[in-house]
Structure 1
Amino acid sequence: MLENNTTMSNSVSFIYAPNIIVAPGTKYVDDFEDFQKRVLSLLADIMKANWTGLGIINLIGQTSNKKVIITPDPINGNACAEDRRNPSWGNAIEIPISVEYVKGTGKKSPGFMPDEIILHELIHAYFMHHGAKQDMALFVPPNFYYHTFGEFAAILLTNIYMSAKGRQVLRRDHTEGQLTGMCSHDEGFLILHADPNQFGYPYSQFPHEKLIWNLTEQAPELIFNYVRHENGVFNPVRYYLNTLPERRLRELRPRSGEVFHRTDELEGEAMKFLREAERVEKEGWTK
């Protein structure tokens, strides 16, 4: 944890987002300069050839009064964005990251390459600075363990980034497993559902779809101006938005055995969503 301004004496700001700072922190490591150079290089790489990493860093950079400070941690296996509101150095999020992670000598599980770890934590920092609800408990039947909405968002967005970079092995959830089977494809991921009789408690019929809707509500500028344009093989956010009018039309249709007489209302509602999707595609999201 950073304690005062003296710990910032060897800090360096990232050129494309000066409020992202690589600083020594208070935990001693053998070669901070090497750590610093590696992190700055990884930040630049995160912005290249993809929309998601570019969007996260650009949007963090636009909140210039809110710092994100990346510090080295000598403890193996540690990476965590933490809210450190210390009056001596301002409103900041600290991200202590294990040196082994930055060097690429840590875990080899999906989502644990150096740039992927840093992006994952930057996503947490972005949501923290924007006051998004990250900590609500979350379990997606039948066996996706995200633990919180914040982890769902960070894992999904990092997977979309990884796919845009041409990486085929994606992370399943907040464990170290691999995303496989139908859920490694956009539609399969989106329509995942479970048998309510198997669990005996209320749940969302299509939980990933509901969570992506929540994500668009909490981070519209990131989603509409950046993530939806990602052209990787895996991008359930893009698929969700591109099929939104069709999906909304399906939701408005009568259930089996029911009669729906309000044809004009049904068509009007569908057209409203279609026009909105076309507007966002053309103009981007605006506040």
Structure 2
Amino acid sequence: MDWDKLKTFHAAAQAGSLTRAADLLGLSQSAVSRQIAALEDDLGVTLFHRHARGLIPTEPGNLLFEASKDISRAVAIAEANVHDARDEPSGGLRVTGPTAFGAIWLTPRLGQFHKDYPQIRLQLILDDHEIDLAGLEAEVAIRPFASSQNDLVQRKLMSGTQHLYASRDYLDAHGIPTSVEDLDHHPIIHYGPPHLAPIPGLDWAAHVGRGEKQEPRRAAMQVNTLYGVMKAVVSGMGIGGLPDYAARENPALVRILPEIDGPSFDFYFVYPSELRGSRRIAAFRDFLIEQARLWEN
């Protein structure tokens, strides 16, 4: 059985869609579709029901997916070990992390990492929900919560403190709130719907200063990524509760009501225990720990 076709099938079954599988594999959607169709021809069975809502494995597809999990993991670990057997850290490194954190804090710092380790090729997979490390969809994850899995190694990277922010233009036009009660007279932008948030409490700006029996402030707009919340606040639409990593280095944003703290959370650097000796991962870990130390100080 052709490994490239099986790897493409495995990614599609895991992702549940051609588009997401194509993103994970770095291929076009049409290439993924052709590989799966070719594998179905080779085996003489249909592996997926194709629906508008995505791909649903057939019974043979489910059987093949279960078998391909162990194969995919073994090949990924073998590839990683081959890369790490070289004298200098080199090869590809798949890293996943939250969309806003990856786009705003992480990516601008990676130019220096490339200068330090030009032989390591990073692939960023930014998503607000978990990518499976056990199946080695990625080798490293940066997560805004601690993992409960025993087969993962994790280290705290930095704290995600949160505060209230508004744009300079907005404050010039509408005035600076001087008390938490003043927030009732300003449009609030926050992450929503709240139940889809990767961590609890990202809609905290709607609740701050409100008692348990009071209704939260109605949002002028909800956005399902923190990056979108930040861009809406920058545009002058209203006030938002943002992680400091998303706002502190943005000159268009001003912290308001500095005595008010939002809920904090911690970022963790996480990777599978089988890759504990990886030079690529150690280089990336140490680089980010130093970058986080410089940022927090």
Larger radius of gyration: 2
Q: TM (normalized to structure 1)? A: 0.26
Q: TM (normalized to structure 2)? A: 0.25
Q: Which has the higher contact order (CA 8 A, sep 6+)?
A: 2
